[in-house]
Amino acid sequence: MAEQPTKQKLWGGRFTGTTDPLMHEFNQSLKYDQRMHAADIKGSIAYAKALSLVGILTAQERDKIVDGLKRVGKEWEDGVFKPQPDDEDIHTANERRLSELIGPLGGKLHTGRSRNDQVATDMRIWLLEEVKDIEESLKGLIRVMVERADKEKDILLPGYTHLQRGQPIRWSHLLLSHAFSFRSDLERLQQQVARISVLPLGCGALAGNPFVVDREFLAKELGFQSLAENSLWGVGDRDFIVEFLMWGSLTMAHISRMAEDLIVYSTAEFGFVSLSDAYSTGSSIMPQKKNPDSLELLRGKSGRIFGNMAGFLMTLKGLPSTYNKDLQEDKEPLFDSVDNVSASLKIAEGVVATLEVHADRMRQALTMDVLATDLADYLVRKGIPFRETHHISGRAVALAESRKCQLNELTLGDFKQLNEKFDNDVLAVFDFEASVERRESIGGTSKKMIDRQVSVLRAALAN
């Protein structure tokens, strides 16, 4: 059995007194950073190999350390790793257990390395893996929206501004409007990868590595795209976390806006959509209720994610250069945001995939007044300036309202009293399908343009 090392903190040589138990608890981060155990093992294995390349470790010592680290990793995977009271963080815990398994040789692993560059490396390794999963979840949400839009092009409903009926649109057009916001989120997430994939390992505590470890080797071994060129920046930079939290805040804002649309449309007053029972709950007192709790939680999570971002940015803004213990506050908001954004994307995909659309209710909500702009456009085609036709169309709307009838129920004589350019063909204006089909410039709501949007989004997913 390997010799048991004397228990001491990694930084304990300078200190002769004992740590206040409350301070130990206040300082300890293992309770939440243990989720980085695999990243820490991965980084340590690479570092052991780098130490052997510069002669700090013999090949035999390197292999013994690597084997020990793999055994520690297996204990985490199997759920049998036993944290000890003196384990401050995942780095301390893993090194302590390594030394228990292989003896004093475990103490060589930290040569030239600091927890400052170690934690920065672990977080980047961990986040890169999480971003892969989040990217797939985001693609899944976009994909289900695109497929629904492609199949449900024939469904018409009013488009709203200020929550007032504006013009007729296709249901597909509305779905795709949210999908394009998510497409932008996908692009922004992918663009972050290069800035996350920057290796700090080998920067030491702040001034660099005195044993001239091959950092390019480390970057290649760990799959990083580049390495930190300045050691002070390398250990103190957390911009990649802030950027992810900002990304999460914007993505959740997009989810929240989509959720709000669906919440409104699922009310009895609208009745455009119904949520699946799998994503709804009931009331504890009102038996008739079917509450869109999934959507409300998605809307609520957006505030939580924004709060994580704002809180950490305020922690970061006043720090002096390089590592400060305040930076330990980066993990909880990051972990919480990753968990909640990931779950939110999956829930949103499920909601959209199982949503029941009531095409008849949407159609019934289309009243002839939403064709008032089309009526103005009709006169534009007769050569009248739009500012004038807008006024004429408005007078037609007012006349219909005064008679408590629809626009298309006005007579040709009524229209001619408003302007002599009106003729029998004015009746062709009052066709919702024709209205949406006239919008066939890029970005419009005609079927041709819906097909184009679907193609653009499918290409983005395939990229």
Q: At what angle do helices 331-354 and 293-317 cross, to 10 degrees?
A: 160
Residue 283 a catalytic site member = yes
Residue 254 a catalytic site member = no
CA distances from 94 to 36, 71, 86, 232 (A): 11, 10, 12, 25
Separation between Cα atoms, residue 51 and residue 46, nearest integer Å: 9
Contact 196, 127 (CB under 8 A): yes
For domain 116-364, the CATH architecture is: Up-down Bundle (1.20)
Ordered per-residue pLDDT tens for the chain, 463 residues: 444 444 555 545 554 566 677 766 776 788 889 999 999 999 999 999 999 999 999 999 999 999 999 999 999 999 999 999 889 999 999 999 999 999 999 999 999 999 999 999 999 999 999 999 999 999 999 999 999 999 999 999 999 999 999 999 999 999 999 999 999 999 999 999 999 999 999 999 999 999 999 999 999 999 999 999 999 999 999 999 999 999 999 999 999 999 999 999 999 999 999 999 999 887 667 767 688 999 999 999 999 999 999 999 999 999 999 999 999 999 999 999 999 999 999 999 999 999 999 999 999 999 999 999 999 999 999 999 999 999 999 999 999 999 999 999 999 999 999 999 999 999 999 999 999 999 999 999 999 999 999 999 999 999 8
Give the pair of three-digit tokens for residue 429: 């204006």
Separation between Cα atoms, residue 37 and residue 386, nearest integer Å: 66
Domain boundaries, the chain: 16-111, 116-364
Active-site choice (184, 283, 321, 455) = 283
Record: fold of 16-111: Fumarase C; Chain B, domain 1 (1.10.275)
Contact 332, 340 (CB under 8 A): no
Give the pair of three-digit tokens for residue 46: 């690479």
pTM of full prediction above 0.85 = yes
Equal CATH topology for 16-111 and 116-364? no
